[in-house]
Amino acid sequence: MSSTGAGYDYSCSQYSPDGRIFQVEYAIKAVESSGTAIGLKCRDGIVLGVEKPQISKMLMNNSNRRIFGINNTTGGLITGYPADGRQLINRAREEAQSYEDTYGHSIIPSILANRLALYTHYFTLHYSLRPFGTALLFVGYDEDMKQSELYMVEPNGMVRRYFGCAAGKGSQAANTELEKIYVKHGGIEGLTCKEAVKYIAQIMYTVRDSSNDKPFELEMAWALNENNHKFQHVPKELIDEADEYGKNNIIPDNNNNNNISEGVEETKMEE
Partner 1 sequence: MSNSSFDHHITVFSPQGHLYQMEYALKAATSGNNTAVAVRGNNTAAFITQKKVPDRLIDASYLTSIYKITDTIGCLMIGLQPDIRTQINRVRREAAEFRFDNGYPMPVHVLAKKIADLNQVHSQEASQRTLACMCLMIGVDDEKASQVFKIDPAGTFLPYKAVATGKSEQDAMNFLEKKVNEFENMDEENTIEMAISTMQHILSTDFKPTEIEIGVVTLGKRFRVLNNEEVEERLNSIQTKAEE
Query: Which residues lie near partner 1 (CB under 8 A)?
Result: 7-8, 10, 12-21, 110, 114, 117-118, 120-122, 124-127, 149, 156-165, 175, 178-179, 182, 267, 269-271
- Nearest to partner 1 of 36, 156 (CB atom): 156
Instruction: Please state the closest distance from residue 14 (CB atom) to partner 1, in A.
Output: 6
- Nearest to partner 1 of 126, 247 (CB atom): 126
Helix (H, G, I), strand (E, B) or coil at 111: helix
Instruction: Please state the closest distance from residue 211 (CB atom) to partner 1, in A.
Output: 29
Single out the residue of 171, 175, 195 nearest to residue 185, CA to CA.
Answer: 195
Distance between CA atoms of residues 158 and 156, nearest Å: 6
- Nearest to partner 1 of 159, 207 (CB atom): 159
- Nearest to partner 1 of 71, 175 (CB atom): 175
List, in order, residues 6 or more apart from 52 with CB less than 8 Å away: 35, 64, 66, 216, 217, 218, 219
Instruction: Please state the closest distance from residue 83 (CB atom) to partner 1, in A.
Output: 22
- Nearest to partner 1 of 83, 125 (CB atom): 125
Instruction: Please state the closest distance from residue 235 (CB atom) to partner 1, in A.
Output: 27
C-alpha to C-alpha distances, 136 to 56, 124, 158, nearest whole angstrom = 25, 16, 11
Instruction: Please state the closest distance from residue 214 (CB atom) to partner 1, in A.
Output: 28
* C-beta neighbour count of 14 within 10 angstroms: 15
Is the alpha carbon torsion for 56, 88, 114, 222 positive or negative?
positive
Instruction: Please state the closest distance from residue 62 (CB atom) to partner 1, in A.
Output: 29
* C-beta neighbour count of 251 within 10 angstroms: 17
Please state the φ and ψ torsions of residue 45, each to the nearest 5 degrees.
Answer: 150, -170
- Nearest to partner 1 of 144, 270 (CB atom): 270
Total residues belonging to the chain: 271
Helix (H, G, I), strand (E, B) or coil at 64: coil
Instruction: Please state the closest distance from residue 8 (CB atom) to partner 1, in A.
Output: 6
- Nearest to partner 1 of 176, 192 (CB atom): 176
Distance between CA atoms of residues 149 and 162, nearest Å: 8
